[in-house]
Chain A
Amino acid sequence: MKTDVLVIGAGAVGTAITRELTKYRLNVICVDKREDVGGDCSKSNSAIIHTGYDAKPGTLESQLVVAANPRYDQLTEDLDIPFERVGAILPAITDEQFEQLPAIKEKAVKNRVYDVEYLSKEQILEMEPNLNPEVKGGLYIPRESIIDPFIFVVAMAENAVANGAKFMLNTEVTGIRMEGDKVVGAETTNGYIEADYIINAAGLFCDDIAAMVGKNDYYVNPRKGQFYILDKNTGCKVNHIVLPIPTKVTKGKLMCPTIHGNMLVGPTAEDLTDKYDKSTNVEGLDSIRADVQKLIPGVILSDTITQYSGLRPNRNPEGLNIDTYDDVKHYVNLSGVRSTGLTNSVSIGTYVASLLKEMGLEMVWNENFISKRKGVVRFKELSKEEQHELIKKNPLYGNIVCRCETITEGQIVDAIHSPIPATTVDAVKRRLRAGMGRCQGGFCGPKVIEILARELGVSADEIRKGNSKSYMVCGKVK
């Protein structure tokens, strides 16, 4: 197999780069060792599109995130991605925190985020009635936004496919071949891929890929973040992203609405060595309770419908780095793309394209580039008339499979046969939310297995939750 550019990693960053490159007349292949796009970090995070108000001024990360934020209105409209500019509130609960506000605002200005405003105690309590009444005042960051991180990546990937890119999943890179000082291709579990240019967007595993070209000047130390998701009906909600004033150690634990109306509470920050440890633990979950109660005293964590953890691909030494090397030509290495990664994935795409051009790749504009993508219909959001019409056209939309989130069989079948097919229970869940509601798949789970097996033409014991070892059932009842 032969390609102009090989992107390693189909998380938000790898997918955004792949999509960006399809704006040029290039062959692009994106590989990922997982069974679905969406990576690791890109699917377990706080689902916030940041402004960059609190980045370290002057850094590449600051430039990328500040440039990325304004692009989301158009991008999410073009790609049919749920997105909302809910805004963030940074309340100062103590006098000490109150004194920090001017410095935070000044830092925002240094980052060229000019729309951060002070809020009085009265204003802040009017905007967030459930906030700690001892609040002294705070800051409002209007463009901090929320997104559906799963659909975001799927949408970019599907749009890239529509523009000619190829995604190879279940494909792990095991080695990178060089000729002289130049990369020429990658060995994968799916055969050798000859590539003029290679981009390492492997996130948590980017140090393993870097080592394949002899670059061992950093390593990834995963930093776990645990979260609670609360029921849409919880009695104590917030309207904005409510962020604590950061300390030297951590940005702290937040509470915010998700794009689908749940409440998200967390995360913790725990340094690990195991890149596969995505377990939750009592200590972490209890610490969320203690910290978030300082902001929102009435938070009802017993209304939780799930808890999860994600791993930030923290780089040591720290910092977002996009590197090219004189001794490893035709290769771009991305590392330390952490909390702001979901946001700045799109500007990283643009940035990496310019690096490739500098390196000598011929970049001719693809005038046939299709910028729009339509996702699977969101049945629940339609009017009754629209729902009625849809069912008349295809009766599968009249069969509700997930009662908590009102997901129809028609949508599941559509997702299974979409450009980036949903072939696992989790892939269906991430695209459609079947199994993400309050019963957590208790009702729809068996039906999703049945539909997947039918549509993929396999038996139920071949259906997986996620990767190849995660079987759901183990054969027929005797």
Chain B
Amino acid sequence: MYEIKCNVCVVGGGPAGLAAAVAAKKEGAEKVLIVERDESLGGILQQCIHPGFGLKLFNEELTGPEYFGRFIDEAEKAGVETLLGSMVLEVSENLVTCINSEYGVCEISADAVVLAMGCRERTRANIVIPGTRPAGVYTAGTAQRLMNRQNEMVGKKVVILGSGDIGMIMARRLTLEGAKVEAVVEIMDFLAGLTRNRVQCLDDFGIPLLLSHTVVDIKGNDRVEGVVIAEVDEKKKPIESTKKFIECDTLLLSVGLIPENELTNNAGIKISPVTKGPEVNQFMQTSIPSVFACGNVVHVNDLVDNVSAESATAGKNAALFAAGKLEKKDAIKVEAGENVRYVCPQNVVPCDGKVDLYFRVMKPNKNVKITVCDGENVLFSRKAIKVNPGEMEKATVAVDGISALTVAVKEV
């Protein structure tokens, strides 16, 4: 077996892993190693060839490869080491086991580990779409990989279920490549992804968005021959009389992302039932003190800029932990109050300085007040014209001496 020692081992070389590794190195960790299953760094951004990244962080509109390219440059300058083409099979407190074609089974011992494995897509089966099981049913991200990395066209006449960002971006991509996108179908009565993507990817190309609709049947024994869609009632039940057949050869699904936490689970790290990612504190530290986590493995982000920021926090604190400089203190639990689905971090250690609380609302609303309270004491308050589950909100609060934290979004 091949053995490696390092101070901080980062699992995953996508935007989260890159930002964490750079930050760890900057914080003084001597040997920082990224273990990445792909042959190259960048993660899912490698297939995101569209622009729209970096507006927050760099004040510029970059493509996916341009965005992570900047981090790769930084990582190289900082002296981050990488082990590519290496699938991690097991993570424990101080040991990461992976498989590599050249070295075989590698055991990497590390003072601190950062989990940055990203997320995976929900499938047809997760949402139980009945019908046949032909070729031509793809998740949007899989289709994106086939088109943008393997140069293969997935189909010519397409229906997209779900108005997630990747789905909308693929609607535009397919259209630009000569396919006909018949419709984007969304079961909720509101958009799942970012408004700017609806405007730039659907409206600008005349692609119909059907809210409160879903796919109720898939037809075709060999290749998709069409789908049956229907409008849904308030309980999301399809209305029989609205059923309509749409002929197509491809169905793309953009129906949500799930943090990829098999390794986390097997390590025995506490997972949040809401985000499906590990519970963390403001240092991005999990229930195993030497293991940190960041990016979409913790909770699914809509902007990579947020991922980079959060991951830098994880990397920095992993380096501090590795150096024995991160003190262990009791944390308090952050409560998700009215119209708040979850808050990340889930736990906060009261201490000097401010903490960014990221959260999502349960349902869309207009003219609301966002508050963060310690009991009766209002720590943060901000008005918002509108809130949407598809767009993450942020509140920055000072946490010195607090005894409780509740985030709420109330109508004014």
Contact = CB atoms under 8 A, between A and B. Distances in A.
Contact of B105 (A278, A388, A450, A467): A388
Interface stretch (A204-212, A248-256, A279-287): A279-287
8 contacts: A395-B101, A398-B85, A441-B142, A445-B142, A466-B135, A468-B222, A476-B152, A478-B177
Contacts of B131: 279-281
B153 A384 contact: no
Given A385-B1, A406-B89, A460-B152, 17 more contacts: A279-B217, A279-B218, A304-B125, A305-B125, A308-B133, A384-B105, A388-B1, A400-B99, A438-B120, A442-B120, A442-B141, A446-B142, A446-B152, A449-B146, A465-B223, A469-B223, A470-B222
A442 B99 contact: no
B152 A477 contact: yes
Nearest to B156: A474
Nearest to B133: A308
A403 B37 contact: yes
B121 interface: yes
B145 interface: yes
A320 interface: no
A443 B150 contact: no
A440 B125 contact: yes
Given A398-B102, A470-B223, A450 B128 contact: no
A476 B151 contact: yes
Contacts of A464: 135
Contacts of A471: 135, 223
B401 to A, nearest CB: 39
Contacts of B152: 446, 449, 460-461, 473, 475-477
Nearest to A472: B135
Interface in B176-231: 177-178, 216-218, 221-223
Contact of B133 (A278, A400, A406): A278
B153 A473 contact: yes
Contacts of A233: 265
B406 interface: no
B153 A391 contact: no
B154 interface: yes
B153 A440 contact: no
Given A439-B123, A470-B223, A465 B134 contact: yes
A398 B142 contact: no
Bin the interface of chain B by size.
35 or more
B146 A446 contact: yes
B97 interface: yes
Given A280-B130, A391-B101, A442 B154 contact: no
Contacts of A392: 104
B82 interface: no
Contact of A391 (B104, B138, B223): B104
A114 interface: no
A398 B130 contact: no
Interface string A290-325: 000000000000001111100000000000000000
B98 to A, nearest CB: 9
A428 to B, nearest CB: 14
B94 interface: no
B267 to A, nearest CB: 14
A276 interface: yes
Contacts, number: 144
Nearest to B250: A474
Nearest to A469: B222
B241 interface: no
Contacts of A307: 125, 128, 130
A465 B222 CA distance: 8
A278 B101 contact: no
Interface residues of A, number: 58
Contacts of B249: 474
Given A384-B1, A471-B223, A477 B147 contact: yes
A471 B156 CA distance: 12
Nearest to B134: A470
A41 B85 CA distance: 39
Contacts of A461: 152
B272 interface: no
Given A403-B37, A442-B123, A281 B130 contact: yes
Nearest to A384: B105
Nearest to B117: A403
A282 B149 CA distance: 36
B54 interface: no
A336 B99 CA distance: 48
A443 B143 CA distance: 10
A474 B97 contact: no
B208 to A, nearest CB: 23
B132 interface: yes
A475 B177 CA distance: 12
B126 interface: yes
Contacts of A234: none
Contacts of A476: 151-153
A399 interface: yes
B100 to A, nearest CB: 5
Contacts of B178: 478
A170 interface: no
Interface in A358-398: 384-385, 387-389, 391-392, 395-398
A439 B105 contact: no
Contacts of A442: 120-121, 123, 139, 141-142
A403 B218 CA distance: 27
A274 to B, nearest CB: 10
Given A440-B124, A442-B120, A465-B134, A400 B104 contact: no
A470 B130 contact: no
B225 to A, nearest CB: 10
A392 B120 CA distance: 31
Nearest to A280: B130
A399 B147 CA distance: 22
